[in-house]
Amino acid sequence: MLTSFPFNNGHVQTILPALLRRGPAVGYARERIWTSDNDFLDLDWSRQGNSRVAVVLHGLEGSSTRAYVRGMVHALNEHGWDCVAMNFRGCSGEPNQKLSMYHSGLTEDLDTVLRHVQSRERYAGIALVGFSMGANQILKYLGEAPDRVPEQVVGACAISVPCDLEGAAHALARPANSMYMHYFLRSLRQKIRQKAAMFPGALDTDGLDEVRTFAEFDDRYTAPMHGFANALDYWRKSSSLQVLGNIDRPSFVLNAADDPFLSPGCFPFRDVEQNPFLHLEVPATGGHCGFLSLSRNGLYFLEQRVLAFLDRVDSSSVPREIYE
């Protein structure tokens, strides 16, 4: 991994890959599936005829087309994995049909996707790979009801995961992170206006442009739209941190020490000590979903680490055995 100046800076590591990385071309085949509440999810498949598949989840306001997702899908394809990139509700280029959209703790849709993959493709092994918000969903899914997780799930990788959502929200509200907050809220405001047009009278958009933090946005929109009392209730109930101790599948967490999105609570050292299925790697630099590197094989550091982990796990192995 490239760590020399000026790349050993969390903001540089976050911004440069987002701005400059085009990502490899991936031949997606889209499939639409329906949820139990009569909404839809768009899945983008990259099949190579392999016996194992990785389900890849993007981050907040992302999609399967983001360069970091395509980079991961391409790397997995090259190393013997079929892939299905899941688009969260309203993130596939078309608004979903319900007033509710997606949120950091929504695991029912991931379960729907896994059941669909399981029933249709008959893969021998399934891996879960998530970025940021998608990573939190994966860890929460694995820990909140381990008996629900299909036995074919052999392992998970969570990259730049804000497992303490309350802490991460406060971290992003810092003045130094205003550019990121502006970026996310601009996109989220557009979706709220779109929903308000689809469901007249359901949402109050007065003063929407004055919303400046996730605390304000989640309190006013995310929480009531998805059945939470307020932003704090949403953050605490949706954080994967509370259930990490229950995870019983090999799970790899890659969080950079200089990630500007993360708070100290997003580095679960104690949980890793107590749960042998968890492995936490904290490089000194990498930013948020960045991990800029100049490897000869064209892989970013995060892709190298995910491949090294997944190529060694099976249903009986645990992360510490892999890395010892």
- Residues known to be catalytic: 132, 259, 288
Same domain, 127 and 268: yes
Residue 4 lies in a domain: no
Report the DSSP beta bridge partners of residue 128.
55, 156
Question: CA-CA distances (angstroms) from residue 222 to 1, 88, 285?
Answer: 37, 15, 31
Whether 87 and 18 share a structural domain: yes
Name residue, tokens 């904290």.
282
**pLDDT confidence tier of residue 182, bands split at 50, 70 and 90:** very high
174 and 234 both lie in a single domain: yes
Do 35 and 176 belong together in one domain? no
Contact criterion met (CB below 8 Å) for 285 and 17: no
Please indicate, yes or no, if residue 219 is contained in any of the structural domains.
Answer: yes
End position of a domain, from candidates 215, 238, 261: 238
Does the pLDDT at position 318 exceed 50? no
Please give the residue range of the domain that contains residue 216: 169-238
Same domain (yes/no): 280, 217: no
Least confident of 66-80, 275-289, 290-304: 290-304
Residues 51 and 129 in one domain: yes
The answer on pLDDT for 319 being more than 50 is no
CB atoms within 10 A of CB 258: 20
Q: What is the b/e burial string over 147-174, where b = at least 16 CB atoms within 10 angstroms of the residue's CB?
A: eebeebbbbbbbbbbbbbbbbbbbbbee
The answer to whether residue 2 sits within a structural domain is no
pLDDT at 321: 45
With cut-offs at 50, 70 and 90, classify the pLDDT of residue 298: confident
Compute the average pLDDT of residues 302-322.
72
- Share above pLDDT 70 across residues of the chain, in percent, rounded to a whole number: 94
Q: Count CB-CB contacts under 10 A for residue 318.
A: 18
Are 202 and 260 found together in one domain? no
Question: Would residue 274 count as lying in a domain?
Answer: yes
**Domain-terminating residue out of 217, 238, 259:** 238
Contacts of 101 (CB under 8 A, 6+ apart): 88, 89, 90, 191, 195, 225
Q: Are residues 17 and 106 in the same domain?
A: yes
pLDDT averaged over every residue in the chain = 93
Strands across the sheet containing 82-87: 29-34, 40-46, 82-87, 52-57, 125-131, 153-159, 251-254, 278-281
Identify the residue whose tokens are 């899914």: 141
Mean pLDDT, rounded, for 14-37? 90
Q: 72 and 203, same structural domain? A: no
Q: Name the phi and psi angles at 40, rounded to 5.
A: -125, 155
**pLDDT above 90: percentage of residues in the chain:** 85
Of the three residues 238, 264, 279, the one that is the final residue of a domain is 238
Do residue 70 and residue 212 come from a single domain?
A: no
Q: Please tell me the predicted confidence (pLDDT) of residue 120.
A: 80
For residue 16, pLDDT over 90 is answered with no
Q: Is residue 1 part of a domain?
A: no
The answer to whether residue 280 is domain-embedded is yes
Q: Note the pTM of the prediction, 2 decimals.
A: 0.94
The domain tally of the chain equals 2
Mean pLDDT of 243-259: 98
Same domain, 257 and 274: yes
pLDDT at 37 over 50: yes
Asked if the structure places residue 5 within a domain, the reply is no
Please check whether residues 123 and 18 belong to one and the same domain.
Answer: yes
Give the model confidence (pLDDT) of 57-93 as tens digits.
999 999 999 999 999 999 999 999 999 999 999 999 9
Q: What is the mean pLDDT of the segment spanning 199-217? A: 97
User: H/E/C letters for each residue in the chain?
Assistant: CCCCCCCCCHHHHHHHHHHHCCCCCCCCEEEEEECCCCCEEEEEEECCCCCEEEEEECCCCCCCCCHHHHHHHHHHHHCCCEEEEEECCCCCCCCCCCCCCCCCCCCHHHHHHHHHHHHHHCCCEEEEEEECHHHHHHHHHHHHCHHHCCCCEEEEEEECCCCCHHHHHHHHCCHHHHHHHHHHHHHHHHHHHHHHHHCCCCCCCCCHHHCCCHHHHHHHHHHHHCCCCCHHHHHHHHCHHHHHHHCCCCEEEECCCCCCCCCHHHCCHHHHHHCCCEEEECCCCCCCCCCCCCCCCCCCHHHHHHHHHHCCCCCCCCHHHHHC
- Please give the residue that has the higher pLDDT: either 319 or 60: 60
Residue 105: CATH number of its domain: 3.40.50.1820
